Amino acid sequence: MKAINIIETAYRATIEEQDDTIVWITHAMKGAGAELDVLLRANAVNYAVKGQDASGLSFGAVTQTQPPRLDEDVQKLVGKGVDVYIVEEDLADRGIEPSTLVDGLKTIKKDSVAELISGYDYAWHW
Amino acid sequence: MADQKTLTFAIMDAPYENARSTTALRIMNAAARRGYDINVFAYEGAVGLPFKKQSGHPNAVHVHDIEEEDHPLPHKWIEALMREAEKNGGSIDWVNCGLCVDERGVAEAVEGVRRGTPGDFWKMAGASDNTLVIPTR
């Protein structure tokens, strides 16, 4: 069985969770033996931009010590053998240059997404 | 203090669900640093923010033990906000909607949080320089 996680909702409680919950669950399921790939679309394409820095949060004397590192978490998915696709038009709409992205991503045109998904048993849209 | 301000916030989002919760607390933090008096009416899921049974955990994906992970706990943030306000001559009056608390079973809140009703929000708004509503979307 092979599935693809389509991540669209971005930066949802990433500060409190110190990661993206769907990137995280992909790591966790991959670690449990799942055959999973990822498609980043809409605002979630920003997760792949290198050098994001969410550090510096504090409330009174309490400082966050482990801010989310979303670009690194995406890069680690690639390192674990997860195919991470990213929608080319969604990058262009946001003015994101491919040269600013983490390595190893597979760009895909919007009109090829349906064909991509057809190669999986399940497509889970988050 | 001649320029002592009073701000009232109404918030709705539950912890660990949306960036709005963090943003709301950051705005309150800025007000606390200025020594403002802050009223908070926590409605619906937001009553879970000061729930003191929230606890940290290790994170195998991050390869962190529980200490390294240092997982954010909104109730700890709220305690820190209350201390920050007091340190700067202000205060935080945090009212949790009582019925919302009952629905969710989150009565064990940090010290300084009290149970109330929408009527408290009305009174707080009337006694404030301004009110900010941050609803669930």
Going by C-alpha positions, the residue among B38, B39, B53, B47 that lies closest to residue B12 is B47
Across the interface, whether the CB atoms of B69 and A66 are under 8 A apart is answered yes
Residue percentage of chain A with pLDDT more than 90: 100
pTM of the entire structure? 0.89
Q: What are phi and psi of B50, to 5 degrees?
A: -90, 15
> What does the block give as tokens for B86?
């007091």
**Looking at beta carbons, which residues of chain B come within 8 Å of A58?**
29
pLDDT, chain A, mean: 97
Q: At residue A43, does pLDDT exceed 90?
A: yes
**Is the Cβ of B66 closer than 8 Å to some Cβ of chain A?**
no
The minimal CB distance from A13 to the residues B18, B26, B68 is found for B18
Q: Give residue-wise pLDDT tens across range B48-102.
A: 999 999 999 999 999 999 999 999 999 999 999 999 999 999 999 999 999 999 9
- Model confidence at B4, pLDDT cuts 50, 70, 90, reads confident
The CATH number of B6-134, from 3.90.198.10, 1.10.1670.10, 3.90.1530.10, 3.40.1260.10, is 3.40.1260.10
**Looking at beta carbons, which residues of chain B come within 8 Å of A64?**
70, 72
Q: In angstroms, what CA-CA distances link B41 with A99, A109, B108?
A: 46, 46, 17
**Is the Cβ of B86 closer than 8 Å to some Cβ of chain A?**
no
- Model confidence at B2, pLDDT cuts 50, 70, 90, reads low
The minimal CB distance from A13 to the residues B19, B62, B64 is found for B19
Q: What are phi and psi of A81, to 5 degrees?
A: 90, 10
**Is the Cβ of B65 closer than 8 Å to some Cβ of chain A?**
no
**Is the Cβ of B131 closer than 8 Å to some Cβ of chain A?**
no
User: Exposure of B118 by Cβ count < 10 A (0-12 exposed, 13-18 middle, 19+ buried)?
Assistant: middle
Rounded Cα gap, residues A85 and B91, in angstroms = 49
Across the interface, whether the CB atoms of B22 and A16 are under 8 A apart is answered yes
Q: Are B74 and A16 in contact (CB under 8 A)?
A: yes
> What does the block give as tokens for A32?
């449990």
Domain boundaries, chain A: 2-125
Q: In angstroms, what CA-CA distances link B112 with A64, B50, B99?
A: 23, 10, 18
Across the interface, whether the CB atoms of B19 and A11 are under 8 A apart is answered yes
CATH architecture label of A2-125: 3-Layer(aba) Sandwich (3.40)
**Looking at beta carbons, which residues of chain A come within 8 Å of B77?**
59, 62
Q: Which of B61, B87, B110 to mutate to test the interface with A (most CBs of A within 10 A)?
A: B61
ipTM of the modeled complex: 0.83
Residue percentage of chain B with pLDDT more than 70: 99
- Model confidence at B3, pLDDT cuts 50, 70, 90, reads confident
Domain boundaries, chain B: 6-134
